[in-house]
Structure 1
Amino acid sequence: MPIKTLQIPTPDGLADGFAAFPEHGGQHPGVLLYMDAIGLRPVLEETARELAGHGYYVLVPNLFYRYGPAPVVEVPGFIGQENRVELFGQLMPMVDALTPELALRDAGAYLAFLTSQPEVGAGPVGTVGYCMGGGLAMRTAAAHPELVAAVAGFHPGGLVTDAPDSPHRLAAKLTAEVHFGLAEHDLTPEGIAELGRALDAAGVDYSCEVYPGTLHGFTMADTAAFSPAGMQRHWERLLPLLGRTLGKG
């Protein structure tokens, strides 16, 4: 599948990123894919290519563009215990600085760019996120319910917090179908129950499951957390969700 590097206009400047889409031409349903905290790198290109191979135009922006183009920090080829602490020491200030207000300002720009691409057909789009991107996928769908028909978050972070604008508190604004695939310790049992109560009360069509034997980051093949079985289950949940809500390209 082709990969095209892009510059995405936002209210705060140009966000770099890339898109993957089917090579046979035509128009396809759009998917906004939110990166994990480690940022844009080959493993996300592979995920986007795989998704594009199933008939979708996949836009993957650099969420840290305010600090420079990706890679904003040097990312090792493999992330294990020996280099994880140092790497996240560089990344977490950028994660923390991406407030919900900034993220939603960006989200509107990303969606406007995605839906304006000639390869993207008319109709609803999906938001998919990994790690920090899971909460952002839900925030984006809640802010743009007229446009987003599918939300998926895998080993998501920050879904249930004490903040007044915690993503789970936005459930009533959703019109999308939702799936969350959790690693075993992503949320406490109490957090999972609170998330379920919020989604149930809002009447959201959703599924939320803990993928057995997984660690946070289980979809990322360049980390020690990678789980082939978890990644396979991720595809088994994500592709039918997008097929039901967006259709195939």
Structure 2
Amino acid sequence: MMVKQEVRDIDTPTGTMRCYLYRPDSEGLFSTIIFYSEIFQQTAPIARAATMLAGHGFVVLVPEVFHELNPIGTVLAYDDEGKDKGNQDKFTKALEHHDSDTQALVDFAMSQPFCTNQVGAMGVCIGGHLAYRAALNIDVVGAFCLYPTDIHSSTLPANPGNDSLSRTGDIEAELVLVFGKQDPHVPSEGRRLIYDRLTETGRKFTYIEVNAQHAFMRDEGDRYDPALALQIYQQAVAFFHRVLR
């Protein structure tokens, strides 16, 4: 399908959130994927990934994940300055504020005349964590989490007992987690901790480890693995076609 893009500003309890909307250029109703970016917000690789997903028949919403902490439209560069600012934002924004963002996105999707009431979540890096976190929302039925950071370490700000690892048992959605074995941000012991918690709590999940580095899906930079990225995207599309009926 061909894809058209829109820009929408959504009200949240913590301020206006710029959201980039991608949807099939076709009549009909389509399920929604909330696509959470890296710490850099909507860069060109994120926009291309969102377009690709929309072309398979989904409405894709890309929110500015740190909208409270930056001017609307902020995109951070893939350099040391951008990384430092993004990490600062990551460790400033509370998970509870990400939760209210997710609820605003779900409400927005369900109010659109071109959306069904089926909502999923997907993300990369911290966005993978936010997709995992979004699965706590009762209206999110599936989450595809690409090398999610900071779940195992519980290092993102949250109220006591409200970190994402502790809340794993509250997830009702189906999950897919994809990790690179050569990813230093989520070492083997961290990956095992997440796997064990999902198993102990009886969650419905698929766990995938591949020989890849962090950010292997990003189609810029030295760590990009095109063949592996294509394989994972195909799995993501199949997953969402199945769970977002």
Query: What TM-score results when the alignment is normalised by the length of structure 1?
Result: 0.88
Matched, 1:69 2:63: no
Find the residue that maps to 1:220 and give its secondary structure: coil
Matched, 1:189 2:188: yes
CA distance in 2, matches of 1:192, 1:94: 24
Count of equivalent residues: 235
Q: Which of 169, 172, 177 matches 1:172? A: 169
Q: Which of 124, 129, 135 matches 1:130? A: 124
CA distance in 2, matches of 1:51, 1:153: 15
Tell me: higher relative CO, structure 1 or 2? Use CA pairs within 8 A at least 6 residues apart. Answer: 1
Higher strand share: 2
Matched, 1:246 2:244: yes
CA distance in 1, matches of 2:114, 2:14: 26
Q: Which of 12, 19, 35 matches 2:21? A: 19
CA distance in 1, matches of 2:15, 2:95: 18
Deviates more, 1:98-107 or 1:221-230: 221-230
Structure 1 residues without counterparts, runs of 5 or longer:
none
- Root mean square deviation of aligned Cα: 1.6
Structure 2 residues without counterparts, runs of 5 or longer:
156-160
TM-aligned CA distance change 1:92 to 1:162, over 3 Å: closer
Q: What is aligned with 1:94?
A: 89
| Percent of matched pairs sharing the same residue | 22
Query: 2:187 is aligned with what amino acid?
Result: T
CA distance in 2, matches of 1:222, 1:188: 23
- CA deviations on 1:135-181 (whole Å, 9 max, x unpaired) are 11111211x12x11111111211121256433232221111111111
Q: What is aligned with 2:234?
A: 236
CA distance in 1, matches of 2:94, 2:37: 16
Query: What TM-score results when the alignment is normalised by the length of structure 2?
Result: 0.90
Higher helix share: 1
Contact 1:43 1:221 in 2 (8 A): yes
